Amino acid sequence: MSLYTVNKNTLECRLGNETVKIIPWGKNSVCIIAVPIGEAVLTDWALLPEVGAQQGNEASVNISVDENVATLVAGKLTVKAEKTGWRERIKLSFYKSNSGELLFAEADAGGALNLHARNFDAIRGGSYKITASFTADPAEHLYGMGQYQQDIIDVKNCSFELAHRNSQASVPFVVSSKGYGFLWHNPAIGRASFAKNGTEWSAESAKQLDYWVTAGDTPAEIMSAYADATGHAPKMPEYGLGFWQCKLRYWNQEQILRIAREYKKRNLPIDVIVCDFYHWPHTGDFHFEKEYFPDPDAMIAELESMHIKLMVSIWPQIDAKSENFKEMADEGLLVQSDRGVPTQYNGGDYFGNCLFYDVTNPRARDYVWQKCKVNYFDKGVRIFWLDEAEPEYSTYDFPAYHYHLGSALEVGNLYPQLYAKGFYEGQKASGQSEIVNLLRCAWAGSQRYGALVWSGDIHSNWETLRRQICAGLNMGMAGIPWWTTDIGGFAGGRTEDPAFQELLVRWFQWGCFCPVMRLHGDRLPAEIIKRKDGSSNVNSGADNEVWSFGEANYKILEKYLHLREKLRAYIRQIMDEASEKGSPVMRPMFYEFPDDAQCFDLKDQYMFGSKYLVAPVLEAGCKTRQVYLPRGNWTEIDTGKTYQGGATVTVNTPIESIPVFEFEA
């Protein structure tokens, strides 16, 4: 049998029991699948099968084969497979087609070390612990990987847990300054390390090795190919462009209407108001509690008359006391535990003992959507806050949990993607055309299901604020263009504290230049909530509206509300670019200026689309800050002062202003 065979533009390599397939998958791109024994199988975890099928007949693919070496050229990407080493293995190398420059390659066997670049460690039951090892250029710069709570923009020399947690969204896609993008197409729990002496990806449990590579001349070209391969974000609805008002938590119908009326009375722009968690009797009931929301239809209708959308919180936990628990348990719609007590979330007296519903089961997705359709969608709700999307297990003991699609070790990172899919497909089937839902997590492909991701239950301090800049930028570079954060942070902020008020003002100014501008948080002091029968309900936080932080601060926040509205047409433009081209809305400086080495590691400034450079104020009491302006002409929008690019400038940062510069090439 031949070492290499060609079948419909797919190059198949067989040596011993191992099979490696190199499959053209979109423009300038390939998918690599390898199995130690048996047949390699196409998967659709994130990659769109139709993209791979379309590529099968394109003339841009050329394959040449000789005795020991085979080469597949897919546009700008060339993959070479070569039999090499003492023990005869297939080694893959990836090159730019036009220049022949090596992008990266699988690691060598290391001579007598006898290392395996594709290592399959068998696990009882038929899966493998898989490790893929590659050479690495110490000088390259990497961006992406999703949302991690670290003050780092260039993720080279970083190591990442491939798992979701509250405030951590693992999206395993990176863009290299060398001109390629790499997707680890595997939803297993694992790890990625981008070390000076090599790159390594691992999966704790998987059936096969599976990744995707694309080559491009610019970051924009790479991101466009990635969006083609994994799906484009839909068109952002108009209400996604403006201001969203939220707090933990508006706990009754009249409170929501009172706040909405006050915004209108003050002529303040507002597009969305949010009804947070525990507006239900028990977690998993999926409807308004009558004591606090006696007439939700009338509430939603009045909000609509003010041109304000209502977003409602949905949690994936099903309390044992919920009206839906027994039926869902009997129907096998809940996440199972392979060991120990089956409770997966214990939130105390308020939240109860809960199991998560199994979003990997299509029947479970449909069951929950049908409940939400009747109790929310049919009443006029069009935006859902899909909270706890990681999901947030009380203990992240991934080997203990089992889904419809397999062990959490093997498929656990799919949870937020399929959570978003269940609601997106339900809304589409119910006639909604433009969809955005807020989630606390994402995985590759989540963007195609209208996922707007926020950065989780973060703390209210300056260090955390600095981390959110990098989190948002790397989320965009991982292909999730819709991203937001709790303005002011979620926990620890006291409404009347001057130190917190300064932090909130700076955060709010930055929020004006985020993809979605959303004010949220659990402010102190808490408001104690009691039911009519005297029993305790979940507390509400202190006031969190723009007029809640003192008159002087209100004037500043009002300024940026109106500025956001003034920018609406521009934000529509860059949202459309995200949908059509896969472009991030928030862009690292490297994205717009890839040939400027000064931009590789700028982590405290970024481009909002291609027109505005944003330099948030990230320290208390800051009076000035330095900003690097790349080549071109720049105008500071608050002062009208102009600068010639190619230099670092020092600008004033009064509390009334965030440094923002308009770019002219």
Other CB atoms within a 10 A radius of the CB of residue 558 amount to 16
Identify the three-state secondary structure at position 431: coil
**Whole-number Å distance between alpha carbons of 172 and 185:** 8
Let me know: does 21 contact 33? Beta carbons within 8 Å: yes
Which residues partner with 82 through β-bridges?
A: 69, 91
Using the structure block, give the residue that is written with the tokens 């009804």: 275
- Which residues does 374 contact at the CB level (< 8 Å), separation at least 6? none
Q: List the catalytic residue out of 221, 387, 522, 636.
A: 387
Other CB atoms within a 10 A radius of the CB of residue 199 amount to 22
Cα→Cα distances 427→287, 341, 381, Å = 17, 35, 10
Q: List the catalytic residue out of 204, 358, 390, 392.
A: 390
**387 classed as catalytic:** yes
DSSP 352-383: -EEEEB-TTSHHHHHHHHHHHHHHTGGGT--E
Using the structure block, give the residue that is written with the tokens 């722009």: 269
Helices (H) and strands (E) in the chain, counts: 14, 42
**Whole-number Å distance between alpha carbons of 138 and 464:** 29
**543 classed as catalytic:** no
**390 classed as catalytic:** yes
**Whole-number Å distance between alpha carbons of 209 and 35:** 6
- Which residues does 340 contact at the CB level (< 8 Å), separation at least 6? 397, 400
Q: List the catalytic residue out of 323, 457, 577, 638.
A: 457
Q: What secondary structure, in 3-state letters, does 592-616 show?
A: HCCCCHHHCCCCCCEEECCCEEECC
DSSP 322-349: STTHHHHHHTT-B-EESSS----EE-HH
Residues annotated as catalytic (active site), given as ranges = 387, 390, 457
